Amino acid sequence: MRNNWGLAMIYKNDKITVRSIKEADLQLLADWLSNPEVLQYYEGRDRPHDLKMVRERFYLKDDETRCIVEYEGQAIGYIQFYPLEKDSRREYGYTDTDGSIYGTDQFIGEPRYWNRGIGKKLVRSMRDYLIHQRKADKVVMDPQAWNDRALACYEQCGFIKKKLLKQHELHEGQLRDCWLIEYTAESALS
């Protein structure tokens, strides 16, 4: 089954299903992205999203594969992945690498699902999907340096800190430092 954004189901791993966003998810994304608890970590509490913003940001651009995360059949979050483009490769220091590099970003939009290990399951399953199905040589993320909880989750999933990106992301009115973190296909073999 296909929609305007690609395959409906990207993958299923145990209790987690990752599927392409669809028109019916518009309100769900707006609800998550107007919740201050979620915005504290993703987008910023100064940027609550209404339906128009969600449509512009998540539905009108084709540069990323945008997905809804379901846990036991319940939509609980969002994840996106994308091949790293030339500008990002240069910014992150991957100019001498010809291999396939994917970036990913995610959030659990339902706070009642936080602190249950679901984020780790999601990150591991996406990491494995990108390495084994999309044949990525590296998977990278750039979480904000202050977000200790996210960094601990990613490190437990095998990602390692590679480079501090000074004043990399505007969040709640301030340019914040981020960590470039990576997981390599070689790591999957060990």
pLDDT tens-place string over residues 125-175: 999 999 999 999 999 999 999 999 999 999 999 999 999 999 999 999 999
Angle between helices 118-132 and 148-156 (to 10 degrees): 50
| 8 vs 26: CA distance, rounded Å | 15
pLDDT tens-place string over residues 15-68: 999 999 999 999 999 999 999 999 999 988 999 999 999 999 999 877 899 999
pLDDT tens-place string over residues 59-103: 987 789 999 999 999 999 999 999 999 999 999 999 888 899 999
